[in-house]
Chain A
């Protein structure tokens, strides 16, 4: 299972990468939305985890682009910071599938990731 992480803050990125690699996921990282879009095209990930505020293309723009493209079916988990509640609602309106607030709990992260991936492909056959 492939996960793409879009996050511009290096420490949060290191934490996410370490946790998800340990869980056995194949992890690609992007430090802004523009890079993330390129990575989506190239790797076709099973899940996108994105921050909201990022340079060039923001997390919201990224969600908008991915979710308005009918040929892409990838769940999106938003990682927001404290005080971004309004923006989280906007992210949901754009089609984000779930969210987690920083500081996030590593166990909660892996539970949510597992659930989103399961929802996307409930049965591997057919």
Chain B
């Protein structure tokens, strides 16, 4: 059972290699995470000062500031106990001790499988009971909506945030309708295109399960495989979106006029 071990968790990936960044990001998304990327230790620390993370995946060898130094900085200067997992190039002798000494909580050797990444995360979470909770993740009815990005970007301009939320609430049903219309015509290209478009909206207001289903719809339509699964996925998206709509309307007090 490795589904969504990182559901609603914000993970910082620190790696200087663009390919690795992408590979790791995708593995994490499969586990339900929201990810952010830094290209070296210094960038990681800049991001760290401005964000709350639940987990850090740290490459050890990087330019400017390596993983050990960045970890020491996070532990000593920033006084953070966030779980940090090292990504080491090889199972080099002594590498594991060096990681733990610098303050990391675990490690995986690259290239790693989803399974070994999962195991490393599981181990670290087991021994770290402290899980930071983010006030911008709204939860109700088994559903979480992450609106932290809006606040990070807009700050306190509640009106602008409301305008964005309104756009989101209006946008998703329109896209779902487009997917359904294309589906009725077996127009797989447009099913994929609309699903792809929905992913953009969901990159701002983040809902892990809906994003996952949308990705599955897009993939099926693009590869023309598992097409019979699409209607059920659309139904799930619609059902979940009703709950999401309620959560957002409640939080941003769009009250229906009575």
Are A15 and B46 closer than 8 Å at their CB atoms?
Answer: no
- The answer, among A8, A53, A101, A103, for a CB contact under 8 Å with B149, is A103
B235 to chain A, nearest CB (A): 23
Are A82 and B199 closer than 8 Å at their CB atoms?
Answer: yes
Q: Which of A1-32 contact B (CB under 8 A)?
A: 7-12, 14-15, 18-19, 22
Task: Find chain B residues with CB under 8 A from A124 CB.
Answer: none
Are B219 and A103 closer than 8 Å at their CB atoms?
Answer: no
Q: Which of A66-119 contact B (CB under 8 A)?
A: 81-83, 85, 101-108, 111
A99 to chain B, nearest CB (A): 8
Are B167 and A11 closer than 8 Å at their CB atoms?
Answer: yes
Known contacts A83-B219, A103-B149; is A9 also within 8 Å of B36 by CB?
Answer: no
B38 CB–A CB distance under 8 Å = yes
Are B155 and A22 closer than 8 Å at their CB atoms?
Answer: yes
Known contacts A83-B219, A103-B206, A105-B51; is A11 also within 8 Å of B200 by CB?
Answer: yes
Distance of A53 Cα from B198 Cα, bound (Å): 12
Are A107 and B47 closer than 8 Å at their CB atoms?
Answer: yes
| Chain B interface (Cβ < 8 Å from any Cβ of A) | 22, 25-26, 29, 34, 36-38, 43, 46-47, 50-51, 149-150, 152-155, 157, 160, 163-164, 167-168, 171, 193, 196-197, 199-201, 203-206, 215, 218-219
| Chain A interface (Cβ < 8 Å from any Cβ of B) | 7-12, 14-15, 18-19, 22, 51, 53, 81-83, 85, 101-108, 111
